């Protein structure tokens, strides 16, 4: 992002980035959920190549690195997130095994058939579950694994307010059985699915975000974009507490066959 050529869009990006840089996670999840998903993956060794797409500042990537022995690369489109990522890796003493790179999940900078594990928590929606599952498969070795968390419906019917919200933001949200079928159609053996517990949203995501919102609003007093960003965040939290029995995040784990 060039400062000289700043567009409104870049400015929004900078604000979003600044806001989320202050929290460990940029989406629902937890170290326990990451470790649980990792428990379904059995092909890893010190030679393994692991990537975490849409890694953000790397909360889950560091957990992944600590609980595996291979080389881990985190990829995110926001350079500021990657700077924080690499600083965190350094302070945890993990820089020899984990590195953050700037890049886009729709144009991966890896060799085809070179990866043992593709990880992606709360980020595949940026290109869509079906597309991501299909395109990323090319980069996995046969027998390699994919593990993604993704917004999913828990029930066949749901109230209009929550349905409309998701349709406006991510119409690819679907039931677990449909997502599993998409995974299978893309050429994976579905290995496991599990619903992320409520604490992944509350304790690990909404609560840390709520703590930084007042200071962020004060810093950007009078800035409409900042106000809209926080209002949107607060609305998301409210919707979750109102409708959490109808939707949530689900981990999908598959093996390339
Ligand atoms: N995995 C992290 C972040 C999830 S938020 C966590 O669970 O905490 C979604 C992330 O996707 C953000 O960090 C955002 O910068 C990143 N992102 C958005 N579009 C992207 C793209 N095209 N390529 C790579 N990363 C992208």
21-39 pLDDT per residue, tens:
989 899 999 999 999 999 9
Q: In the structure, which protein residues have their CB atom closer than 6 angstroms to any atom of ligand 1?
A: 25-27, 29, 54-56, 59-60, 75-78, 81, 104-106, 121-123, 126
Q: Is the pLDDT of residue 4 over 70?
A: no
Atom 9 of ligand 1, residue of closest alpha carbon = 123
Eight-class DSSP state of 196: P
Q: What average pLDDT does the chain have?
A: 94
Atom 13 of ligand 1, residue of closest alpha carbon = 56
Write out the two tokens for 189.
């053996």
CB of 64 closer than 8 Å to CB of 145? no
What pLDDT is recorded for position 32?
A: 98
% of the chain at pLDDT higher than 90? 93
For ligand 1, mutation pick of 14, 62, 76 (most atoms within 8 Å of CB): 76
Which residue's entry shows tokens 């949107």?
A: 232
For ligand 1, mutation pick of 19, 26, 236 (most atoms within 8 Å of CB): 26
Query: Taking the CA of residue 45 as centre, how many other CA atoms within 13 Å lie in the half-sphere pointing to its CB?
Result: 3
Number of other CB atoms surrounding residue 161 within 10 Å:
10
Ligand 1 atom at shortest distance from the alpha carbon of 28: 7
Residue 118 Cα to ligand 1 middle (Å): 14
Atom 16 of ligand 1, residue of closest alpha carbon = 54
108-163 pLDDT per residue, tens:
999 999 999 999 999 999 999 999 999 999 999 999 999 999 999 999 999 999 99
- Region of 190 (left: φ > 0; alpha: ψ -120 to 50; beta: rest) is beta
Give this prediction's pTM.
0.94
Q: Is the pLDDT of residue 71 over 80?
A: yes
Write out the two tokens for 83.
């700077």
Provide the 3-class DSSP secondary structure of residue 75. strand
Separation of CA 202 from chain center: 16
197-211 pLDDT per residue, tens:
999 999 999 999 999
For ligand 1, mutation pick of 77, 79, 81, 132 (most atoms within 8 Å of CB): 77
CA proximity to 33, closest of 181, 152, 204: 204
What pLDDT is recorded for position 8?
A: 52
Atom 19 of ligand 1, residue of closest alpha carbon = 126
Residue 77 Cα to ligand 1 middle (Å): 7
Atom 20 of ligand 1, residue of closest alpha carbon = 77
Provide the 3-class DSSP secondary structure of residue 28. coil
Residue 93 Cα to ligand 1 middle (Å): 24
Write out the two tokens for 144.
């390699």
Domains of the chain: 24-161+169-196+245-256 (3.40.50.150)
Pairing of strands 247-256, 188-195: antiparallel
């Amino acid at each position: 992002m060039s400062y000289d050529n700043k567009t409104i869009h870049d400015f929004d990006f900078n604000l979003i980035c600044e806001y989320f840089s202050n929290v460990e996670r940029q989406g629902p999840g937890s170290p326990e959920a990451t470790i649980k998903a990792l428990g379904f993956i059995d092909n890893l060794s010190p030679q393994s190549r692991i990537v975490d797409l849409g890694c953000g500042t790397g909360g889950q990537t560091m957990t992944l690195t600590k609980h595996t022995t291979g080389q881990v690369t985190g990829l995110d489109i926001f350079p500021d997130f990657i700077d924080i990522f690499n600083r965190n890796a350094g302070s945890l003493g993990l820089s020899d095994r984990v590195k953050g790179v700037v890049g886009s999940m729709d144009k991966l900078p890896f060799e085809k058939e070179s990866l043992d594990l593709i990880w992606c928590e709360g980020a595949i929606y940026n290109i869509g579950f079906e597309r991501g599952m299909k395109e990323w498969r090319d980069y996995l070795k046969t027998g390699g694994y994919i593990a993604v968390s993704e917004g999913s419906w828990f029930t066949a019917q749901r109230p209009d307010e929550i349905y409309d919200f998701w349709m406006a933001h991510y119409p690819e949200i679907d039931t677990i059985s449909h997502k599993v079928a998409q995974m299978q159609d893309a050429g994976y053996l579905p290995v496991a699915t599990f619903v992320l517990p409520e604490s992944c949203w509350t304790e690990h995501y909404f609560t840390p975000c709520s703590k930084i919102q007042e200071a962020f609003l004060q810093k950007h007093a009078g800035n409409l974009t900042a106000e809209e960003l926080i209002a949107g965040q607060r609305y998301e939290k409210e919707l979750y507490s109102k409708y959490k029995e109808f939707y949530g995040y689900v981990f999908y784990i598959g093996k390339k066959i």
